Amino acid sequence: MLIGVAAYRRLAPLPAARRNVTDLRDLLRSEDLWGVPEENVHVLTDPEDPAEVSRAIRRAAAATERDGLLLVYFAGHGLVDADDDNLILGLPGCDAEVPYERGVPYEWIRRAVADTRARRRVVILDCCYSGRAGAEMGGDSTGTDAVADKAETDGTCLLVSAPANRPAMAPRDEAYTAFTGELIRLLRDGLRPPPPEAMPPALTVHAIWRTVRRAMLRRGYERPELRARDAGGEISLVHNAAAPRHNLAGSVLYAAPWFVDDDLGQRVVLVLRHNQTGALGVCITRPEGDLPADFPASWRPLLRNPVMLFHGGPVAQDGYIVVTLLRAGVPKPLRFTPVRDRLGTMHLSGTPEDVSESVDAMRVFIGYLGWRSGELEEYLDRGALIASRHTSRQVFTERPGELWQSLQAGR
């Protein structure tokens, strides 16, 4: 349950809160991180009615199974009721003088979370206690520690964005609030601990708090606080994007700037197969030239621009590898071999009319790259190859020659 309030009328607007929830939604739905089904990710943006928020969280809490994980996230203004010091989550119509009239008392959230069957519960609050104009949000009031203690529920891990009596930051020139920006950056890029620490396969809430805390301190911002009971801090939230997956098939990898290699240096690679015996992939950034005359003309309309032959790698350059992206929701056609989700390879022994309604994009490669068992993982562990956080649509970019540079810039 992701709640973001950006369009305040009586308090300073927080446009970053809207971007917070939409990008967190996309990350949590990514199969590289968590893979939450679309129907299980609920987003509320600028809800007006406090009861609407309460009902939505209660529905999510009731729908979460015992072995599931309930996550509730809020980004917006946080206010404190002057009469009883209770935390109020600000909605668009909130007035700092009477926040209880148009805000959501945190007690409502606590009760809804406490009523779930789920044994794993995570609440993340990116807010302060009063609105401030300008580039900051927050003000002097009850501290984070006190609010965290009040908000705590048995079995719930609570992560709050700022300490006592200090503002949580929302820099004007950044897409996200400061805390959520560091959170998103960590989820996207993953965690690479210094040697001799082992690479964690998943990010626990405690590891997320510790890493985001260090990043916030480096930037001169306030420290987030963590409260947890019943080992709540050890809840694994997402896969560590920096750790190699057991099956990397379908992953897009790009070379680190310092990595010098004839086949991989300044290249981007799509992994087509990965198992205990090794891995196979194709370079997706090396157009070689026009398609040869013997390539079947009837298949050319299905190819994505640039319609060229791509140099996939130095191995077995005696046949075509046709990487294919299917349309969403269509059944897998004959002669299509899945790699991951809608991405796979197509054998051209049939006719294009049989698959034209199913195909979204195709690209033709000659040759491939091969790695022995464990070799691809070694490249990733060394940082020579880096897993892209984007989708497999990168395979079909219309500017393949610029892809490696754009991935470097987007790290």
Q: For residue 89, what pLDDT is reported?
A: 92
Please report which confidence band the pLDDT of residue 147 belongs to, taking 50, 70 and 90 as the band edges: very low
Tell me the chain's radius of gyration from C-alpha atoms.
24
Backbone torsions φ then ψ of 176, nearest 5 degrees: -120, 165
CATH class (in words) of the domain with range 2-239:
alpha beta
| E strands, 217-329, in order | 225-228, 236-239, 252-255, 268-275, 278-283, 287-289, 309-311, 315-326
Q: Are 410 and 314 in contact (CB under 8 A)?
A: no
Q: Which residues touch 67 (CB under 8 Å, ≥6 apart)?
A: 118, 119
Contacts of 172 (CB under 8 A, 6+ apart): 134, 135
pLDDT of amino acid 163 = 62
- Above pLDDT 70, what percent of the chain? 89
CB 339 within 8 A of CB 332: no
Q: Does domain 251-410 have CATH number 3.20.20.150?
A: no
> Which backbone phi and psi does 21 adopt, to 5 degrees?
-75, -35
User: What average pLDDT does this structure show over 138-166?
Assistant: 56
- The residue assigned the tokens 């679309």 is 38
Query: What is residue 231's predicted lDDT score, i.e. its pLDDT?
Result: 65
The pLDDT, as a whole number, for residue 245 is: 65
Tokens of 115: 């009523």
Q: What local confidence, expressed as pLDDT, does residue 114 receive?
A: 87
Q: Please provide the average confidence, as pLDDT, over all residues in the chain.
A: 85
Taking Cα atoms as reference points, which of 365, 184, 395 lies closest to residue 269? Answer: 395
pLDDT of residue 145: 47
CA atoms within 13 A on the CB side of 62: 6
Q: Three-state DSSP class for 180?
A: helix
CB 339 within 8 A of CB 272: yes
Backbone angles phi, psi at 393, to 5 degrees: -65, -15
Position 268 scores a pLDDT of 96
List the domain boundaries for the chain.
2-239, 251-410
pLDDT tens-digit series, residues 63-78 = 998 878 899 999 999 8
For 254, the 3-state DSSP assignment is: strand
Instruction: Look at residue 375 and tell me whether its pLDDT is greater than 90.
Output: no
DSSP single-letter state for residue 151:
H
Q: What is the pTM of this model?
A: 0.60
- Judge whether residue 139 has pLDDT over 50: no
d(Cα 110, Cα 228) in Å, to the nearest integer? 14
pLDDT digits (tens, 9 = 90+) for 223-236: 888 887 666 678 88
Q: What is the pLDDT of residue 129?
A: 44
Q: How far apart are CA 129 and CA 81, in angstroms?
A: 9
Q: What percent of the chain has pLDDT over 90?
A: 50
* Residue 290 burial (CB count, 10 A): 11
At 324-370, the pLDDT tens digits run: 999 988 988 888 999 988 999 999 887 888 888 899 999 999 999 99
pLDDT value at 266 more than 70: yes
Q: What is the pLDDT of residues 377-402, one digit of tens each?
A: 888 877 889 988 776 678 999 999 99
pLDDT of residue 136: 28
Q: Is the pLDDT of residue 153 over 80?
A: no
pLDDT for the residue 20? 97
DSSP state, 105? E
Q: Which range among 42-46, 181-185, 243-247, 255-259 shows the weakest confidence by mean pLDDT? A: 243-247
Higher pLDDT, residue 46 or 390:
46
pLDDT for 236: 83
Per-residue tokens: 309? 């032959």
Residue with token string 């308090």: 11
DSSP letter (8 states) at residue 116: -
